[in-house]
């Protein structure tokens, strides 16, 4: 079957010459052909993500058109404005895929609002809401290596698409022939007819205004003298992040020159991921040379941000996603109480794999902390519920341990633009009172205990990888461990049982251990990986790290 599909693609007059070249190169190489054609990329709530190339199991304009025809079929049943917003990042062919999607939508009688240049995830979420669109499309593979691209689909609320909608779209995709089943017109024809229009300056400015309106201490940065090094990691963050930081008064910004311009090859780091030291290495070297107070980096689609802070001895410390989440929560709460801008009955939201230290901090400020499934759409869902009750201003802050943050309800996905603004404002504030982010973090640990949160990741590549992951999760459910690393398991929470958790079903297991530690086992929704999240609590960092090492070693034989 897959060989027939390969021959069909070879016989077709493909519009992208790169695909024809690739098909010729793999002629006679059955394993290569099987890898590209034996299966198709599956469309889910996170859309599509895969390696660039030829075939149904790769990202290319034919897969994008097929997916967009499926999306168009769904949009046509939804009434409303019959509009879809589109944005894209710096990845290879992102602009071509965005235009291909626009052409399919326009051919189906659906209006398109597409950005005239690359813009990040929060800009797409905002435009979807601003234009009252039925859906949004973001062409990105987030922080994956350069050989990947992807296609994230959003609902009318600016949240990533619901399971129900994604299932309908996927069913429509399967009815659509990949090579010729999608309707399409030329991009020029779409522009000329008015079916395709660029996102207006009014929408762009409204996003910036909405972000700046969430400042905790407006005007502070103009006089604080903060010195910053910033890297957009060759992605889409440069223009929006720099615009907002300069607007709030931060002028001393050095951009990492090798990572300044959009470049989908990401030449300076194999993984353009702000969680990884290698991605931040050039920024850290520049920070040390210039004596910057702070170094920050946004990922290619600028929905996540990582930071390094200057310590009293002049060294720089990377701050984890959990730590930044706790620091921002603490800063926002304290600042809003001080300024009298704290809403009544404030609500913060975090994912179930994020640190319980955030619960303790929230409680100390009288803030309700809600824990939701992993995936920022569940944080967006909590904002939507507040909005439906006419209480959207209660939403204060949401975060995930994987470096995603949002303060305010103006978008429904994580936003590295506002996170960058608030991190800089926080650094400027502590600097202005003779303190630092480092000192504040140590004060939080001193008050609440030394929490350590670490993630291990196990990869399962190839066609058999997903089967292996399913087998491991099944085995853990059928034969639950009585202890891990000598620590007795007190409770197992299986999130596949919504009747027990009160949350939608999810493939997550959480083990509560004797002594207070927890271990979470969760397969990734977008990559062939199983992740294990460890939370340990010690009298000091060494004690917490020692326990994490014991727990990690105990799980390796099961997961490796």
Known catalytic residues are 142
**How many CB atoms lie under 10 A from the CB of residue 239?**
18
Please list the helix, strand and coil fractions of the chain in percent, rounded to the nearest 5, in that order.
Answer: 40, 20, 35
CA distance 62 to 434: 57
Question: Residue 356 is encoded by which pair of tokens?
Answer: 């319980």
Question: Residue 154 is encoded by which pair of tokens?
Answer: 């959003």
- Name, in order, each residue with C-beta under 8 angstroms of 478's C-beta and a sequence gap of 6 or more: none
Phi, psi of 487 (to 5 degrees): -100, 120
Residue 528 · residue 460 · CB < 8 Å = yes
CA distance 127 to 157: 10
Q: What Å distances lie between residue 243 and 2, 208, 266, 414, CA to CA? A: 49, 8, 23, 18
CA distance 549 to 532: 12
CA distance 543 to 504: 35
Give buried/exposed letters for 321-341 (b at 16+ CB in 10 A, else e). Answer: bbbbbbbbbbbbbbbbeeeee
């Amino acid at each position: 079957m897959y060989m027939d599909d390969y021959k069909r693609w070879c016989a077709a007059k493909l519009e992208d010459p790169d695909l024809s070249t690739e098909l010729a190169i793999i002629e006679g190489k059955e394993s290569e052909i099987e890898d590209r054609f034996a299966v198709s990329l599956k469309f889910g709530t996170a859309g599509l993500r895969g390696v660039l190339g030829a075939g149904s199991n790769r990202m290319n304009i034919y897969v994008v058109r097929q997916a967009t025809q499926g999306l168009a079929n769904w949009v046509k049943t939804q009434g409303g404005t019959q509009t879809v917003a589109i944005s894209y990042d710096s990845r290879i062919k992102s602009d071509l895929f965005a235009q291909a999607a626009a052409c399919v939508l326009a051919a189906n009688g659906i209006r398109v609002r597409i950005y005239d240049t690359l813009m990040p995830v929060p800009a797409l979420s905002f435009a979807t809401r601003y234009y009252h669109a039925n859906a949004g499309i973001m062409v990105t593979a987030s922080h994956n290596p350069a050989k990947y691209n992807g296609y994230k689909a959003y609902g009318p609320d600016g949240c990533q698409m619901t399971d129900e909608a994604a299932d309908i779209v996927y069913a429509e995709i399967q009815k659509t022939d990949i090579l010729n089943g999608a309707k399409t017109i030329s991009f020029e024809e779409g522009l000329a007819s008015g079916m395709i229009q660029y996102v207006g300056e009014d929408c762009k400015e409204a996003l910036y205004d909405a972000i700046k309106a969430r400042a905790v201490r407006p005007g502070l940065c103009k006089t604080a003298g903060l010195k910053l090094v910033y890297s957009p990691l060759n992605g889409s963050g440069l223009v929006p992040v720099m615009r907002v930081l300069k607007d709030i008064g931060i002028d001393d910004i050095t951009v990492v020159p090798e990572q300044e311009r959009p470049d989908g090859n990401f030449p300076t780091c194999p993984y353009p991921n702000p969680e990884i030291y290698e991605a931040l290495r050039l920024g850290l070297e520049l920070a040390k040379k210039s004596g910057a107070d702070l170094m920050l980096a946004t990922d290619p689609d600028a929905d996540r941000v990582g930071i390094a802070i200057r310590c009293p001895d002049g060294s720089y410390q990377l701050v984890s996603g959990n730590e930044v989440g706790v620091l921002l929560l603490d800063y926002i709460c304290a600042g809003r109480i001080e300024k009298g801008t704290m809403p009544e009955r404030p609500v913060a939201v975090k994912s179930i794999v994020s640190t319980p230290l955030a619960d303790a901090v929230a409680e100390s400020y009288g803030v309700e902390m809600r824990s939701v499934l992993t995936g920022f759409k569940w944080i967006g869902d909590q904002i939507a519920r507040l909005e439906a009750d006419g209480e959207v201003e209660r939403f204060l802050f949401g975060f995930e341990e994987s470096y995603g943050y949002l303060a305010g309800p103006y978008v429904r996905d994580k936003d590295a633009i506002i996170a960058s603004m608030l991190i800089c404002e926080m650094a400027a504030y502590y600097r202005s009172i003779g303190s630092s982010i480092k000192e504040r973090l140590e004060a939080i640990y001193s008050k609440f205990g030394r929490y350590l949160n670490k993630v291990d990741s196990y990869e399962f590549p190839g066609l058999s990888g997903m089967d292996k992951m399913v087998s491991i999760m099944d085995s853990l459910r059928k034969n639950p461990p009585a202890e891990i690393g000598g620590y007795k398991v007190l409770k197992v929470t299986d999130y596949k049982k919504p009747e027990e958790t009160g949350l939608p079903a999810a493939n997550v297991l959480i083990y509560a251990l004797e002594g207070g530690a927890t271990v979470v086992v969760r397969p990734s929704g977008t990559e062939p990986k199983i992740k294990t999240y460890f939370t340990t609590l010690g009298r000091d960092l060494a004690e917490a790290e020692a326990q994490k090492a014991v727990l990690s070693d105990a799980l390796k034989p099961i997961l490796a």
